[in-house]
Structure 1
Amino acid sequence: MRFRDIKKNKKRKQQLQEKNKTQIRYASYPDRIKALITDMFMIYAPILYFITYVVMGSKEAFQSSQWAPFLGVTLYALIYALLISKFGQTPGKKAYDIKVVDDTTHENISFIRAFVRFIAFLFSATILLGLLTPFYRKDKKALHDIICSTIEISVDKPLSV
């Protein structure tokens, strides 16, 4: 056999292996933003309302407290991490068919990793550079995804019969 034929066979095998791999569709950036806004209204706003009017008693007490906003963000982070680790989705991500998974195994991530991802997201949002990285990467990873080795993928809805 000639070397050229061996090389062609090797390329064909590689092409077949690539076709057999499941195709990963990365979540679009606009859908990720819409999912974040949905989560803010469905999870974070009720937490802030509860802290403001049930725990603190008034808007003025909430505004004068340094601990109330921190408590709100911490509760949101815990709920977010719990949902991501258990289901891979928050309500906003589920609405837009997005799932957060490990970038190599495509399995759900642990609670600690999801919590660290949220903290890294806060850092990314603060410096803004981390939120712009998906525009320059093929895999559409933001800085918090790079730090935690995660990806946000689009999942297809199961067909209802």
Structure 2
Amino acid sequence: MEKTGGTRRVVVAIDDSVYSNLTMNWYAKNVWRPGDEVLLAWNVEPHPATFGTVNLMTGDPDVISKILSEQSVHIEQTIEKFQQKLIDAKVEGRVIQLHEAKAGPAIVHAAESENAGMIVCGSRGLSTLRRTFMGSVSDYILHHAHVPVLVCKFDPLQTH
């Protein structure tokens, strides 16, 4: 399942949350080893603050164009931020954009298609009740991936 030649290919699940930054930093400090190829996998979803309650089918074309332009800029800035994190951590890798309805299946599919040998993801530490209603990306990955999964759980009170 891993890339040949002794190199590990590792998918690190990211989004634009503080937990992704902590996960990437933790992986680079504690798990990464020379020769690892890191794929920062980001399931690009519309930014809720950008779209709000605008109905794209009946809205003003100028407003829709502005919203889509802002979304494009947000995506480019986020990708640049994560590419810089790889450079700063001296970690070989790249950012891959995923475009699926849900992040959990997107990350699992990316790991399979990229022949990754491991998935690393963060956890927001949701309670059992919130996880039941909202779902959990890390929980989905843990139960559906066919490779080892490392879940970095962080105390929400210590992330700020």
TM normalised by structure 2 equals 0.24
> Which has the larger helix fraction?
1
Structure with more relative contact order (C-alpha pairs < 8 Å, separation 6 or more): 2
TM-score under structure 1 normalisation? 0.24
